[in-house]
Amino acid sequence: EVQLLESGGGLIQPGGSLRLSCAASGFTFGSCDMSWVRQAPGKGLEWVSTISGGGAKTYYADSVKGRFTISRDNSKNTLYLQMNSLRAEDTALYYCAKAIGGGWSKHDYWGQGTLVTVSS
């Protein structure tokens, strides 16, 4: 059974940093592209970033480029999102999602999310 478990969210002041983690199990983690998708309270889904299975290729939304860094440790089956220079508009539930093989823009498994609140 595929499981994705996010952690690391919390309350952080504007300008601060936070690192999210996503522990994966039930599939060959290193063979799958992985993404972070966020959802602000009461709002729609917003794609944040994707990393290739081997970690060599990364992609970012313009809204987070230069501030967020996606990475992975395939030996630990874990995905990360380092978030720096956080802003109020980054407040959201952050989902970890597994991409379907053959294209990283579609995601067949999602975690339950970890909440990030940026506020003073």
Partner 1 sequence: QSALTQPASVSGSPGQSITISCTGTSSDVGVYNYVSWYQQHPGKAPKLLIYDVSSRPSGVSDRFSGSKSGNTASLTISGLQAEDEADYYCSSYTSSTTVIFGGGTKLTVL
Residues that bind partner 1 (CB under 8 A): 35, 37, 44-47, 50, 59-62, 95, 100, 103, 105-108, 110-113
Q: Name the CA dihedral angle for 6, 11, 16, 19, rounded to a multiple of 10 degrees.
A: -10
Q: Which helix (H) or strand (E) holds 46?
A: strand 45-51
Q: Is-contact 49 79, C-beta < 8 A?
A: no
Q: How far is the CB of 75 from partner 1 (least distance, A)?
A: 26
Please say which residue, 80 or 94, places its beta carbon nearer to partner 1. Answer: 94
Looking at the chain, the number of H-run helices and the number of E-run strands are 0, 11
CA count, 13 A, side-chain hemisphere, 51: 21
CA–CA distance, 120 with 106 (Å, rounded to integer): 35
Please say which residue, 89 or 108, places its beta carbon nearer to partner 1. Answer: 108
Q: How far is the CB of 52 from partner 1 (least distance, A)?
A: 12
Please say which residue, 17 or 89, places its beta carbon nearer to partner 1. Answer: 89
Q: How far is the CB of 97 from partner 1 (least distance, A)?
A: 8
Q: How far is the CB of 116 from partner 1 (least distance, A)?
A: 16
Please say which residue, 50 or 78, places its beta carbon nearer to partner 1. Answer: 50
